[in-house]
Amino acid sequence: MNTSAPRPGPVRRILGGLWYGLTFTRQLVFNLLFLALVLLLLAALLRGPALAPLQPQSALVLELDGRLVEQFTRSPIDRLLAQASGDEAGAELQLRDLLRALDAAAKDPKIERVVLKTDGFSASGFAALRELGAALDAVRAADKDVIAWGVGFDQVGYYLAARADEVFMDPEGLVLIEGIGRYRPYYRELLADKLGIDVHLFRVGEFKSAAEPFVLDGSSPEAREADLHWMGDLWQRYLAEVSAARGFAEGELAALIDAFPQRLQAVEGDFARLALESRLIDATKTSEQLETLLAERGAADEEQGFRQVNLQRFLAHAGAAPAPTQAQPGIGIVVAQGVITDGKQPPGTVGGDSTSALLRQAREDASIGAVVLRVDSPGGGVYPSEQIRREVVKLQEAGKPVVVSMGNVAASGGYWISMNADAILADPSTITGSIGIFGLFMSGPRALEKIGVRTDGVGTTPLAGAFDPTRPLVPEVGTLIQAFVDHGYRQFVGKIAEARETEVAAIDAVARGRVWSGAQAKTHGLVDALGGLGDAVARARELAELDAGAAIAYVEAPLSPFQQILADMNRSAHLQGLAPMLAPAFLLLGETRSQQVVDDLAFLKDSQGRPFREVAHCFCGL
């Protein structure tokens, strides 16, 4: 029997050949255009003039226009295209780059002052801000001026500006300090009443409020109590540090903020006048007046008004930090930033497989003698968190100390991956704790009934088909999920108790999903010491008995040759001249920002293909 397919007719063969030819031609044209673009970029980079030498009496101008991150979340090509097109949406600034620039500025005799501009700057927490503030203090301690200028200062930008010797603002600008708040949408009515979707929450810990927005119409009393406790600690620290920097008496700044609407009304809505009268700023100056002042204090420049260097050019002058060598073991820094999810994830995020691979790379690298795990994560999946924790333990078993440096947030799963470190350091304003587990299961038979659909059938056991979301939740499934979540919580607190060398009851008393500030966590024994990344590096050096000059390097996934070229272009000082040439090609490119509602509802469906999952996650960002 002949089972071969019939041969297509001549018309089909001709049409198929034409289609193949068109497809090949289209791919060839696009590939050639892409190659031409790459060659254009390379040529422009190679044609660019050599890096101009740094001149005496220069000012380092830090235009903090972007979101402060531990690690870039955008790929090199995305950052390059954004720069070329002038797209500022989604711009990012690495904390490490700013700290390195400020440290170099404090030591470089050619840098007379630092000019800080915070318009467009944002940060997701106060821990990283405090590190930047300390770096600015170090510049001033080196007898260098720090000048801040802005059109508008929110409380994030003003925290840094307050550390300056002088704060100037545009005459039409404003300073607005609001306080710390955390408000979020609640979806119970939408999901249950409007759509007919029942969200079943299983949790351990009355303070584990991460999933409450899906089952309640507002915050539970426990969530309000816990949130106000840690937020109050952060806010009092903010007030104290800004007051000390600006010379306010105790309580003066808090009173100003509380009466701000009335005081603004008294000056007829003139923000600049109120800022001056309240000593929040030293003077009002336009950008042109600021430029004239800096030229008078430093050195005039025909092209730029005053002699200056920006962040990228100054980092190019400062050069890269030396990498560890096998002859001289150093310290490797692994960044765990973002929600913890399964599998391999790109840089700037945390993946169970990918972040574990970085820790494994550090373990197998003979040039690394100790590891600092920099955690800035609200947690996520339990299993990927456990994957990462196991790699921390393997590093220790290999004789390499691990020190955790907690950034803005290291809560829930972020604490899970930290618990076994030889030492845990947190900033006093770090958000941590939230030691708890929850599980979610959604069922939608009522939603289907709204459109006339019902589910029915039979099964050989009570569990057969019980995880079908078109059926109501059966009691056996509820019992099963709650038992699973209870087990996960016991594992969580048990592992912490073992790692922290204390009793399970002692950990349970400060766990149960409750969130703490870093200072509060230190009091409760969840962290060992208060400090920033530099303090964690010093502790790792001490534990590994490394020399004071031991090099420090970030352990990151290696870039492909093409990605490395793009990354170099991102750092290139010649890119600014190249941008106008490329801008027309990228006018339509841009980055869309997901709204919180979309993110929250997407969280519901992210079950990694399982009927339910246990989660160690904290929605505790500011």
Residue 261 domain flag: yes
Select which of 117, 144, 208, 522 is catalytic: 208
**Residue 610 included in any domain:** no
User: Per the residue annotation, which of 412, 429, 434, 443 is the catalytic one?
Assistant: 412
When mean pLDDT is compared over 75-89, 349-363, 457-471, the highest value belongs to 349-363
Is residue 575 predicted with pLDDT exceeding 90?
no
Assess if residue 475 is contained within a domain.
no
Question: Using CA atoms, how far apart are residues 535 and 61, in angstroms rounded to an integer?
Answer: 27
Per-residue pLDDT at 265 exceeds 90: yes
Is residue 415 included in any domain, yes or no? no
Residue 265 burial by CB count (10 A; 0-12/13-18/19+): exposed, middle or buried?
exposed
- Residue 86 maps to which CATH number? 3.90.226.10
How many domains are there within the chain?
A: 1
| Known active-site residue 208 | yes
Strand positions, DSSP E, 177-288: 198-204, 283-284
pLDDT in the model for residue 588: 33
- What is the reported pLDDT for 327? 57
* 3: confidence class by pLDDT, cuts 50, 70, 90: very low
Q: Which of 135-139, 358-362, 477-481, 611-615 has the lowest mean pLDDT?
A: 611-615
Helix, strand, coil in percent for the chain, rounding step 5: 45, 20, 35
For residue 143, is pLDDT > 90? yes
Q: Is the pLDDT of residue 290 over 60?
A: yes
Q: Is 278 a catalytic residue?
A: no
Please report the pLDDT score of residue 263 as a whole number.
96
Average pLDDT over residues 417-440: 96
Residue 374 confidence (pLDDT): 98
The answer to whether the CB of 199 falls within 8 A of the CB of 442 is yes
Mean pLDDT over 407-413 rounds to 96
- Tell how many helices (H) and how many strands (E) occur in the chain: 23, 25
Range of the domain at 291: 58-176+248-318
Condensed to tens digits (0 to 9), the pLDDT of residues 301-322 reads 888 999 999 999 999 888 755 5
200 φ, ψ (degrees, to nearest 5): -100, 120
Could you say which DSSP state residue 140 is in?
H
Higher pLDDT, 594 or 308: 308
Strands 145-154, 166-176: pairing kind: parallel
Residues 6+ apart with CB under 8 A from 478: 200, 202
What average pLDDT does this structure show over 345-362? 94
Reported as a pLDDT band with limits 50, 70 and 90, residue 26 is low
Residue 77 lies in a domain: yes
Tell me the pLDDT band of 124, cut-offs 50, 70 and 90. confident
Q: Does the structure show a pLDDT above 70 at 325?
A: no
User: Taking the CB of residue 610, how many other CB atoms lie within 10 A of it?
Assistant: 9
Say if 521 falls within a structural domain. no
Strands 613-617 and 379-381: antiparallel
Q: Let me know if residue 112 belongs to a domain.
A: yes
Mean pLDDT is lowest, of 264-273, 346-355, 575-584, for 575-584
Statement: residue 596 has pLDDT above 60: no
Q: What is the percentage of the chain residues whose pLDDT exceeds 70?
A: 78
- Residue 205 reports pLDDT greater than 80: yes
Q: Has residue 540 been placed in a domain? A: no
**Which position has the higher pLDDT, 593 or 220?**
220
Render pLDDT for 507-540 as a digit per residue (tens, 0 to 9): 999 999 999 999 999 999 999 999 999 999 999 9
- Tell me, what's the pLDDT at 573? 43
